[in-house]
A and B are shown apart, each in its own frame.
Chain A
Amino acid sequence: MRIKLAAIPLAVTLPLSLAACSGSSADDASSDDAIQVGFLAPAPRNDGGFTQYALAGVEKAVEAGGMELTSIVDNAAESQEQIEGLQTLAANNDIVVADGAVLNKAVAVVAPKYPDTHFILVASDLEEYAENVSSVTVAVGLDALVAGAVASMRSESKKIGMIAGPEVPSSTAWYYGMKQGAAIENPQTEVFQAYTNDYNDVGKAKQAAEAMIANGADQLLSDLDSGSEGIYQAAGAAEGIEVYNVFALHCDENPNIVGSGVVSWSDVLESTVTEAAADELPAGAISFGLKSGALSFQFCEGKASEEEIALVEDITGRISDGSITPEEGVLLPRPSYDFEQR
């Protein structure tokens, strides 16, 4: 018993002694002149998708010089936690990147309290205009339109599907875009949609994909991050199922992958953070479209026929010249205040 009691103060003093020997993270050298950048996301920083690419863009901007990425808060899934995280970041940084559609209200609460901090809200808009907030969105529905046309052309059953995480506009835009694109290629093509409510849940994604395959879909688009693995597994267990990714090409992850509606979040964040650091990023909403180069549909090597490549070029060209007008739901809802289309 005495030994056990003696172990308690030992246990307490041990970490304190070790602490004296360890370095301090807060003491890490940081340039006083550098512009301080903080990053907050509701998802994990290594989600293999949206958050990871956005963070990579911020890091690229920081590496270019004159900036320092001081803090990363990830997994902030709940509103209260998001507000606390944003407040701490805003108090210690010049630029705060709020990387997620669900962060709009939290930014609306925090931004007015820190007028000297520039907030970059990614993939969402505010309900009201805020002087120190720039919201950055990407017109993913335009990419989805091309993907839908390609999937429709490749489909034998003329049934294609889209599986996403939460049912938010940035995800539903993929569905509506695919639906319009498929209809352009073949009006008979059916488009299914399913939402797992979690971008990283492999099990739910697999179940959703299996259900779609059972209903005849043979082309599946995954608007998921690490949850895409579930779709790969379902596709691998069936015959003739092809998969499309979003954001980036993942051709080496699975042989069933045909291509991707590439959205270069990395480039978008790199340019916006750089502009914000130079005090050149306007407040209000900015949407990146096909013209900006942030969006493109790309095939995996050797997967596309000449006819399919021609289809992609045709649809992309017609969207760019305005002869294809996005239908309702394809573009994200536009705010009533200043809006810049790039």
Chain B
Amino acid sequence: MTPPSAAALRALGLRLLTQLAVALVTLLMAALILLAIGVSPTVAADAFWAGTFGSPTNAGTTLTQAVPLFLVALGWIVTDKAGRLQVGFPGQVVIGGCAAAAVGLQCENVPAPLAVMLCAAAGMLGGALWAGIVAWLWASRGVLEIVSSLLLNLVAIQVLAWLVRGPLQGSLDQQPQSADFPESTRWPAFPSVPGLTLSYDVLLMPVLAVGLIVVLSRTSFGFSLRASGGNVTAARWQGIDPVRTGVRAIALSGAFAGLAGAALLFAGSAPWLSEGFEAGIGFNGIAVALLARNSPVGAMFTAVVFASLNVGGTSLQSLLDVPSTLTSVLQGAVIVLVLVAAAVAVRRRSTTPPEPAPAPAEPSGRVTAAAGQGA
């Protein structure tokens, strides 16, 4: 195996430094906001820690909530690698969740392992089909995927509103909620964690992160994704159909988002379908991927950061009356800071003089330029 070059190590160091800087600036902003509303940041930090990782129960909640964010982030990474820009994750999470709920509610007498698999599969299928509309519009009608995916989010929300008031409404008092899902469909949790808050689906994070890395780097499908995203003309010259690849990427990302929808419903502590169950996961998942610089491994950690912001925000409000909007402000700040950091990095790259090319080994040797594509 070739050891990493100095340039690669420098790039990695810069990336880590950027993420550290984003985290520090976010912490600074949080501290200043807390001081402005008269709450000591140290006391807030205590409450935040207590609410997120202060006990096995809370740590389980935080990690379980990170899974849907991570799944959406993977969806973003796949489409980004293919050079497509779809932002329909909220809608795909919603439709995936609805499909999983529709199946789950019928699984009363189905054995638990089969019921869990059926719900997960239904979620993936629902998300993939919803994303498939975006892919079809783009591939066959030339509709920009960013526009159609964004608009389909609104449609998905209305579909959910109709379902919880119509076919899937189950509550006796006519609230817009489904009935509780059967016990057999609930995703199992680690029995050692009190309150059963840590779902086994956290194991999906390392498995899928490694799996996606392998697929992207070691398979022809992964190569076709990267080639289509890197240079469409070059991809065509290599016999790759960028349109077909883009369609597959969008559908696959929808499947990830749909699975996230199923995870939200069946792995969380609220086992029923209700309006708003998506809870901003769709867009926050994009931020998770951006903060991780589209690295599947990095997304595991940034998903946990975002999940702790959500869980810790509720804890801060419950214990210290810190407004719940603080969490949203901090999440927005992270997104803006990541974008600023990316812009600074691009400017730095464009102004840094290129390193001198190594002297050719032989007088007749050719100098080749490798165009690297950032991971």
Interface residues of B in 33-55 (CB under 8 A from A): 34-35, 38-43, 46-47, 51
Contact assessment for B310 and A22 in the assembled complex, using a CB-CB cutoff below 8 Å: no
Assembled-state Cα–Cα distance A11/B23 (Å) = 12
Assembled-state Cα–Cα distance A101/B177 (Å) = 11
Q: Which residues of B contact A72 (CB under 8 A)?
A: 317, 321
Contact assessment for A11 and B28 in the assembled complex, using a CB-CB cutoff below 8 Å: yes
Partner of A92, one of B275, B319, B324: B319
Assembled-state Cα–Cα distance A14/B264 (Å) = 39
Most A CB contacts (10 A, CB to CB) among B34, B172, B275 go to B172
Q: B205 to chain A: closest CB distance in Å?
A: 18
B21 part of interface (Cβ distance < 8 Å) = yes
Q: B255 to chain A: closest CB distance in Å?
A: 23
Q: B41 to chain A: closest CB distance in Å?
A: 4
Contact-size category for B: 35 or more
Most A CB contacts (10 A, CB to CB) among B51, B161, B311, B324 go to B324
Contact assessment for A25 and B276 in the assembled complex, using a CB-CB cutoff below 8 Å: no
Q: B20 to chain A: closest CB distance in Å?
A: 9
Contact assessment for A38 and B318 in the assembled complex, using a CB-CB cutoff below 8 Å: yes
Task: Summarize B's interface: helix, strand, loop or mixed.
Answer: helix
Q: Which residues of A contact B171 (CB under 8 A)?
A: 104-105, 127
Assembled-state Cα–Cα distance A104/B178 (Å) = 12
Closest A residue to B264 by beta carbon equals: A80
Partner of A102, one of B172, B274, B315: B274
Q: A111 to chain B: closest CB distance in Å?
A: 13
Q: Which residues of A contact B31 (CB under 8 A)?
A: 14-16, 18-19
0 or 1 for each of A16-32: is its CB under 8 Å from B? (1 = yes): 10111011111100000
Contact assessment for A169 and B24 in the assembled complex, using a CB-CB cutoff below 8 Å: no
Contact assessment for B27 and A81 in the assembled complex, using a CB-CB cutoff below 8 Å: no
Partner of A27, one of B28, B43, B173, B276: B43
Interface residues of A in 203-253 (CB under 8 A from B): none
Interface residues of A in 50-95 (CB under 8 A from B): 71-85, 88-89, 92
Contact assessment for A333 and B172 in the assembled complex, using a CB-CB cutoff below 8 Å: yes
0 or 1 for each of B162-205: is its CB under 8 Å from A? (1 = yes): 00010000011111110010000000000000010000000000
Q: Which of B211-219, B265-273, B293-301 is near enough to bind chain A?
A: B265-273
Contact assessment for B35 and A88 in the assembled complex, using a CB-CB cutoff below 8 Å: no
Assembled-state Cα–Cα distance A335/B174 (Å) = 11
Binding site for B on A (CB under 8 A): 8, 11-12, 14-16, 18-20, 22-27, 38, 71-85, 88-89, 92, 101-102, 104-106, 109, 113, 124-125, 127, 166-169, 172, 197, 332-333, 335
Q: What are 7 A-B contacts with C-beta separation under 8 Å? A: A19-B41, A26-B43, A80-B279, A125-B173, A166-B176, A197-B161, A335-B173
Given contacts A83-B270, A85-B317, 12 further A-B contacts (CB under 8 A): A19-B42, A22-B35, A25-B43, A26-B43, A71-B317, A73-B317, A75-B324, A78-B276, A80-B279, A83-B269, A166-B176, A169-B175
